[in-house]
Amino acid sequence: MSDRDRTAPTAGIGLTKYTKFSGCGAKLGPGVLEKALCGLAQPAYPEMLADFTNCEDAGLYDLGDGRALVQTVDFFPPIVDDPFLFGRIAAANALSDVYAMGGRPISALALVCFPVKALGLETLRAAMDGGLEALIEAGCALLGGHSIDDPEPKLGYAVTGLVDPAKAWRNGALEPGAVLILTKPLGTGLVNMACRAGLASEESRRASEASMARLNKRACELLGRRRVLACTDVTGFGLAGHAAEMAAGPACGLRLSFGALRFLPGAAEYAAMGLVPEGTGRNKEGRMHAVRLASTSIGPVELDLLFDPQTSGGLLAAVDSGDAEAALADLKAEGMDAAIVGEACGPSGVVEIAD
């Protein structure tokens, strides 16, 4: 991540005061999306390997030459006040869906909603600079985009990547006994709420910003050295919500160990204080039916942590048990706060939460 001078004129502009929601917490809830997409059908194009029907992180379209397009789009309102950092996080988050499929991003189009009169062109330029920095780091060319004058700022990208269709990671392709590795700590939604309330510590804010700004590129590359059976990235539906999508595959469900999870500094404290994003409730409403509690110690605060909407979260990868420890060592050697957080087991459609 860049060490850009935070004393730049736009650094303290206060973007989040222009928004109701922040980052991936602005997403429609999973239950609402299911109802909206229910019954929506299209022809079974022979080249279409994955579309919107199975909660995959991105679409897959076979080019017929040993390559498939990985296509995704993601945009949201600011989760930080600094425009440059907002832009970088928005790009990192959009790129993440390609990495979650085991792919390599190659091109992007910007999606911009912006109140020009209220915030000025200098602020927009700073946000675009931040996004471009992340895209350059990813080796992903910015080809153009589209913009709208909007009272609430939003920024994101439609990203196209490439992957060998035979090696693409799918979120529901679990096998019993696979080990779950999470590559980033949780809690960005809670830290953001604490920041909005003026209660977040400097340590919490900085740790959250650094985590969101970090690309999942290197995590994808390192995991790609091992046998990854299934993968997703943890974003707006929270860890439990995205785990439920993985568990929906036919082979088996998941078991998460709450005690093994890593959280950003202060996140658990903010959850106990009730500084919970509205998106947490939407996530519970849409995915709690898939969750089974295996311990009486998992209460409301723990569930708020599990369903906390993440922005630019980590990869949740189901790795062959024989490769898991080596994969974790690779990630930790690169400075990632990764952890083994559970395993693939139990009945399909169920995410069991243990101590």
Give the residue numbers annotated as catalytic, written as ranges: 24
For the CA atoms of 240, 60, 251, 245, the dihedral, rounded to the nearest 10 degrees, stands at 20
The CA distance from 80 to 191, in Å, is: 11
Tell me the sheet residues that pair with 256: 342, 353
The CA distance from 338 to 251, in Å, is: 25
**Which two tokens mark 66?**
């040993």
User: Tokens 């939407």 correspond to what residue?
Assistant: 282
Determine how many CB atoms are found less than 10 A away from the CB of residue 227. Answer: 16
Tell me the sheet residues that pair with 50: 60
Half-sphere exposure of 256 (CA within 13 A, CB side): 29
Assess contact for 338 and 183: CB atoms under 8 A. yes
SS3 content of the chain, % helix, strand, coil (to 5): 40, 25, 40
The CA distance from 321 to 323, in Å, is: 5
Backbone angles phi, psi at 21, to 5 degrees: -115, 170
Assess contact for 113 and 244: CB atoms under 8 A. no
